[in-house]
Amino acid sequence: MTDRDAIALREEEREAVAELLEAAHHLAGLGLSPGSSGNVSVRTGDHVLVSATGTQMGSLAPEGLSRLDLHGNLVDGPRPTKEAPLHLAFYRRSPELRCVIHLHSPAAVAASCLPPYSERSALPPITPYFVMRVGQTPLLPYAVPGSVEHGDSIEGLTFAFRAALLQNHGAVCAGTTVAAAREAAIELEAAAEVLLKLPTAGYHTLSEEQAHAVAAAHGSHWDR
């Protein structure tokens, strides 16, 4: 990457980018983005600023961002992460979303290798915090990392959700703010870790009625 590759941030993008970089550094500091894995993005108007290929979340800087349009065309900046289709699919299906975070966090990766709890959520309603901060989290079929198939799967689902597990791969979380997406990513990892510590049967979850009530009270989604 050269200085000529770096995008020139517009005034209206600066605050959002500062929040995005802080979130990336925080998540990496928690150990949720091992090596050069993971990528983040923020939507500003009709453009998406997404981490570039080869960047590391722990040291992500403005020059490590690419500017795309909503169809994936590079407007300016370096070559984007190959996982850009994941991000763009969320923005296209839900225009209110402003941030997408994709991680290979260990517990979420492990949970993505298990059979899903239901058609609409890989994880059960294991805690009220998972339901309120993440909500139903479908398990997307395995696809080669970076392929458009993941994006197609996200756009093809007809029910509401703001997070998904990618089979044998990791997690992707979206939010109406950078903070919401970051907290969802952290909570999803925590819920997956709790689930992995439980026996395969005989544990309690929230009832469907309880999960519905929590989701409705906090603007989340739960509908098994």
Alpha-carbon distance 131 to 209, whole Å?
12
Per-residue buried b or exposed e for 132-141, using 16+ beta carbons within 10 Å of the residue's own CB: bbbbbbbbbe
Alpha-carbon distance 198 to 66, whole Å?
41
Alpha-carbon distance 175 to 71, whole Å?
20
Cβ atoms of 86 and 4 within 8 Å: the answer is: no
What single letter denotes the amino acid at residue 210?
A: Q
Q: CA-based angle 95:99:105, to the nearest 5?
A: 135
Cβ atoms of 130 and 117 within 8 Å: the answer is: no
Selected catalytic residue, list 13, 19, 83, 187 = 83
Q: Is 155 labeled as catalytic in the residue annotation? A: no
Selected catalytic residue, list 22, 63, 129, 193 = 129
Q: Is 83 labeled as catalytic in the residue annotation? A: yes
Task: Look up residue 90 and give its two tokens.
Answer: 């969320």
Catalytic residues: 83, 129
